[in-house]
């Protein structure tokens, strides 16, 4: 059955592929699973029909008939479990790839999101500059550690996996900050992810939504 995912009708990222539907689109493209997209306005995201799928009234969601999921990490995991291509067959390698999925979402993403929140909501506070320095310091600590782990490898643990996919989407959220440029092997890691044909198809699909909506 062709799954349906949800995405912003008008993404605040203006087609830069930073919203979390991008990682789900990319996973679906990697495994060759066609999908439908239901676009939602901010008000539709708050309506009971959407809340029945997503208790927090957000995107993305994933539906396959009566079966529904929310949380981008859980959705990518579901896709990776049901199709070949995103998780290794060997049990230990698979567990390590899943570990990297968690690391992307629970170790790397929180300080990066903190920075976005600070810039978006706290810019007028007297303590803003001080807080930004602290938050960026935490990000740099994590990036330094991740960079040390990656070294000159292409991917985080052997073959490309859902762990790499999530990590690339998380690190992309630093685009434009200049911070990632301080870690050439991480910049190259992100570029490798972005060069994958499946990534490009996913990126183009979400960009097409932005272009269509901007024209209307």
Q: Which residues bind ligand GTB (CB under 6 A)?
A: 12-13, 18-20, 45, 58-60, 71-73
Q: Are 24 and 5 in contact (CB under 8 A)?
A: yes
Shortest distance (Å) from residue 111 CB to ligand GTB: 15
Task: Write down the least CB distance from residue 180 to ligand GTB, Å.
Answer: 15
Q: Which is nearer to ligand GTB, 60 or 193 (CB)?
A: 60
The residue (of 73 and 193) whose beta carbon lies closer to ligand GTB is 73
Which residue, 58 or 206, has its beta carbon nearer to ligand GTB? Answer: 58
Report in angstroms how near the CB of residue 154 gets to ligand GTB at its nearest.
25
Whole-number minimum distance, CB 67 to ligand GTB, in Å?
Answer: 17
Is residue 162 within 8 A of residue 86, CB to CB? The reply is: yes
Distance in angstroms between the alpha carbons of the first and the last residue of the chain: 31
Smallest separation (angstroms) from ligand GTB to the CB of 10:
10
Give, to the nearest 10 degrees, the angle between helix 184-194 and helix 162-171.
110
* 168 φ, ψ (degrees, to nearest 5): -60, -45
What's the rounded Cα separation, in Å, for the pair 37 and 115? 29
Q: Which is nearer to ligand GTB, 147 or 165 (CB)?
A: 165
Task: Rank residues 11 and 147 by Cβ distance to ligand GTB and give the closer one.
Answer: 11
189/151 Cα distance (integer angstroms): 10
Residue whose CB is nearest to ligand GTB in the complex, by number? 58
d(CA 139, CA 109): 9
Distance CA 37, CA 141 (A): 37
């Amino acid at each position: 059955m062709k799954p349906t995912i949800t995405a912003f009708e008008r993404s605040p990222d203006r087609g830069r592929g930073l919203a979390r539907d991008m990682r789900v689109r990319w996973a679906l493209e990697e495994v060759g699973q066609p999908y439908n997209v239901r676009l939602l306005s901010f008000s539709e995201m708050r309506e009971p029909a959407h809340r029945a799928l997503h208790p927090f009234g957000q995107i993305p969601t994933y539906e396959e008939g009566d079966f529904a999921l929310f949380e981008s990490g859980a959705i990518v995991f579901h896709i990776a479990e049901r199709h070949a291509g995103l998780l290794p067959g060997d049990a230990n390698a698979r567990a390590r790839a899943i570990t990297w999925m968690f690391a992307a979402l629970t170790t790397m993403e929180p300080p990066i999101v903190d920075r976005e929140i600070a810039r978006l909501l706290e810019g007028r506070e007297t303590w803003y500059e001080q807080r930004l320095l602290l938050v960026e310091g935490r990000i740099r600590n994590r990036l330094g550690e991740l960079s040390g782990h990656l070294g000159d490898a292409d991917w985080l643990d052997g073959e490309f996996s859902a762990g790499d996919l999530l990590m690339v989407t998380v690190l992309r959220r630093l685009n434009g900050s200049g911070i990632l440029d301080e870690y050439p092997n991480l910049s190259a890691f992100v570029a490798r992810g972005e060069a994958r044909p499946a990534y490009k198809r996913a990126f183009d699909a979400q960009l097409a939504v932005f272009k269509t909506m901007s024209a209307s």
